[in-house]
């Protein structure tokens, strides 16, 4: 049986105990059929296609947990392309069918994740509330009268209700954070450009981010590391330049009294105060700061010329299909028609002036701790006053991408009415990894569970550890060894060799016939008493690892290889049928010895 919330640690433990991805997918299918919220998905992957995907994964990588996200079900916001599924951006007339996955989806699938469907959103990712869609309004998993948050509404609900282990959203103004707060989840909002936007429909192209909803901070970070990496096809993609935060003596900026605004919601204000005290108990120094320049920068996103970017994204379609837009979304986007180039430059100048003012605040605080949203609303209230109430939800989120920050939203507890609130930790660009331990500690200290399961214990097996280099180890045995013909596939993307070593004694090595360049087949035979085989351990980026997996020709695949020190690392293995009649070279001790013996060109 799977737990209510599908965190990675529990899934991996279940797989190690004998559960298969097909078993997990059957459970997902059953949960999806039993869901009482009909507005979560725009396009669910049909049941038989899900089963086929699970079977294909088991054939490609038969060993449990042999890929970073082996058998992990996930959902994708329907403004991000997934091959074979329509992309609508919550506008049926806009629908198209992409031939290829977006870059991020491709990386996740290569790592073993299984997509279960495309999720609902505020149309063209314009909104923070989740009610602006012709496909309905997904609801908070805790009270169907309340909004789920938007624009990544369906993505948050899939994770919070236990349908998926994680989901992709997007975030321009807070759409990867507000839905997390309203559904008791973690929202990973990376530094802009860290996750490439290739294959995602832009809202404001210069500040958009693909984001991750997950049950825990460690899950979100692990998934982000698989998905991130420079992509030349995205003009806004950036190479990571990790930045540190103090390990001790951390200064956390909190709202000064003059900048506190909760629109009368005393319960959310109390949850914010409790989060501040948790941060203090963790050893942080609490520093009130002036939020005014951040608030003024936030206002530029909708009240300034950046709204013209939303028009730029859909201008041609709007010219012929205005009637197909949600009325509120159309009003916002058409409001950009009067904007001039002069206003755009003046807006940019004003943003830089405000950025300079915020620099003074960063001199006094290492991290900001803010309410994710100052309050929440019922669906009925939001529909009655869609612009004003939506604007309130972004009070503490709209500035983050404009000012090039990383952020992680975490649960902060529940009010007396049973509706959750959240807080967000924010720091300058590329502090993504450095923010994670604090976010993780705050989530654990809140004791609010994960998603709909308020009593769930956050797995201790997957704490966030600072200093992880984010690289994936891989064992190579043949043509990828140092000096061999395919070694460039490791070195070109920046891989580095960790060590040369040997496998455990029960491995055998064969020459695979008719392979170019020549390749060996590594087979494990329990009980075989050999001397071990020469291999190398390399570390590569998650992107490079995904390419390996995607491009490996049959009969080779990736599985866990046991080394002579007892450790297990993913590496190249061979299907047993392929060695029938093949020459065995185990006695030579490794592929390099065979190449030397046969004088095969390196």
User: Which active-site residues does the annotation give?
Assistant: 77, 151, 175
- C-alpha to C-alpha distance for 564 and 586, rounded to whole angstroms: 15
* Distance, CA of 214 to CA of 220 (rounded, Å): 5
- Are 537 and 499 in contact by the 8 Å Cβ rule? The answer is yes
Q: Which two tokens stand for residue 379?
A: 């669906």
> How many angstroms from the chain centroid is the CA of residue 375?
25
36: DSSP letter:
S
CB contact burial 515-533 (16+ within 10 A = b; e otherwise):
beebbbbbbbeeeeebebb
**Residue-wise over 164-185: b if at least 16 C-beta within 10 A, else e?**
bbbbbbbbbbbbbbbbbbbbbb
Task: Count Cα atoms within 13 angstroms, Cβ side, for 24.
Answer: 38
Q: Which SS3 state, helix, strand or coil, does residue 41 take?
A: strand
Please, where are the H alpha helices in 149-241? 153-160, 178-182, 217-227
Return d(Cα 247, Cα 393) in angstroms, integer.
32
CA dist 313 and 310 (Å) reads 5
Q: Are β-strands 73-77 and 114-119 bridged in parallel, bridged antiparallel, or unpaired? A: parallel
Distance between CA atoms of residues 279 and 369, nearest Å: 9
Residues 6+ away with beta carbon under 8 Å from 554: 575
Interatomic CA distance for residues 356 and 358, integer angstroms: 5
List beta partners, residue 367.
252
Q: Please state, as a whole number, how many other Cβ atoms lie within 10 Å of the Cβ of residue 288.
A: 14
């Amino acid at each position: 049986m799977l737990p209510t919330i599908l965190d990675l640690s529990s899934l991996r433990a279940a797989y190690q105990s004998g559960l298969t991805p097909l078993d997990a997918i059957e459970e997902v299918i059953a949960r999806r059929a039993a869901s009482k919220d009909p507005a979560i998905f725009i396009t669910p992957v049909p049941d038989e296609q899900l089963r086929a995907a699970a079977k294909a994964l088991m054939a490609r990588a038969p060993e449990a947990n042999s890929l970073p996200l082996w058998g992990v079900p996930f959902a994708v916001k329907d403004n991000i392309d997934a091959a074979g599924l329509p992309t609508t951006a919550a506008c049926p007339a806009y629908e198209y069918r992409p031939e290829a996955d977006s870059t991020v989806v491709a990386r996740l699938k290569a790592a073993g994740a299984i997509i279960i469907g495309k999720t609902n959103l505020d149309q063209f990712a314009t909104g923070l509330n989740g009610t602006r869609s012709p496909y309905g309004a997904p609801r908070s998993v805790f009270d169907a009268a309340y909004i789920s948050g938007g624009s990544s509404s369906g993505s948050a609900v899939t994770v919070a209700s236990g349908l998926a282990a994680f989901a992709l959203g997007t975030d321009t103004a807070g759409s990867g954070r507000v839905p997390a707060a309203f559904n008791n989840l973690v929202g990973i909002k990376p530094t802009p450009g860290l996750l490439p936007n290739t294959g995602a429909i832009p809202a404001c192209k210069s500040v958009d981010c693909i984001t991750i909803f997950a049950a825990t901070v460690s899950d979100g970070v692990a998934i982000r590391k698989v998905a991130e990496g420079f992509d030349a096809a995205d003009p806004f993609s950036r190479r990571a330049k990790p930045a540190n935060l103090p390990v001790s003596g951390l200064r956390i900026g909190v709202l000064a009294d003059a900048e506190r605004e909760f629109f009368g919601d005393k319960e959310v204000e109390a949850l914010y105060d409790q989060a501040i005290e948790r941060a203090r108990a963790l050893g942080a120094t609490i520093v009130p700061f002036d939020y005014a320049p951040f608030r003024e920068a936030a206002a530029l996103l909708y009240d300034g010329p950046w709204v013209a970017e939303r028009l730029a994204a859909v201008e041609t379609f709007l010219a012929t299909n205005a009637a197909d837009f949600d009325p509120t979304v159309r009003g916002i986007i058409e409001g950009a028609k009067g904007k001039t180039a002069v206003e755009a430059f003046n807006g940019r100048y004003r943003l830089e002036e405000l950025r300079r003012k915020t620099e003074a605040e960063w001199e006094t605080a290492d991290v900001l701790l803010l309410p994710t949203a100052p309050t929440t609303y019922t669906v009925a209230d939001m529909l009655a006053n869609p612009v004003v109430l939506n604007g309130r939800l972004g009070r503490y989120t709209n500035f983050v991408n404009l000012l090039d920050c990383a952020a992680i939203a975490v649960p902060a507890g529940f009010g007396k009415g049973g509706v959750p609130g959240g807080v967000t930790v924010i720091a300058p660009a590329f502090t993504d990894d450095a923010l994670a331990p604090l976010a993780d500690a705050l989530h654990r200290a809140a004791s609010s569970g994960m998603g709909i399961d308020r009593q769930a214990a956050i797995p201790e097996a997957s704490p966030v550890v600072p200093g992880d280099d984010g690289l994936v180890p891989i064992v190579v045995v043949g043509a990828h060894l140092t000096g061999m013909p395919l070694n460039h596939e490791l070195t070109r993307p920046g891989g580095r060799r960790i060590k040369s070593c040997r496998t455990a004694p029960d491995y055998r090595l064969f020459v695979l016939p008719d392979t170019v360049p020549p390749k060996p087949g590594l087979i494990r035979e329990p009980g075989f008493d050999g001397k071990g085989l020469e291999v190398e351990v390399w570390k590569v980026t998650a992107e490079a690892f995904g390419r390996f997996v995607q491009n490996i020709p049959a009969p080779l695949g990736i599985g866990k290889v046991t080394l002579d020190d007892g450790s297990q690392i993913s590496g190249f293995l061979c299907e047993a049928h392929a060695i029938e009649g093949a020459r065995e070279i185990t006695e030579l001790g490794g592929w390099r010895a065979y190449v030397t013996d046969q004088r095969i060109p390196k």
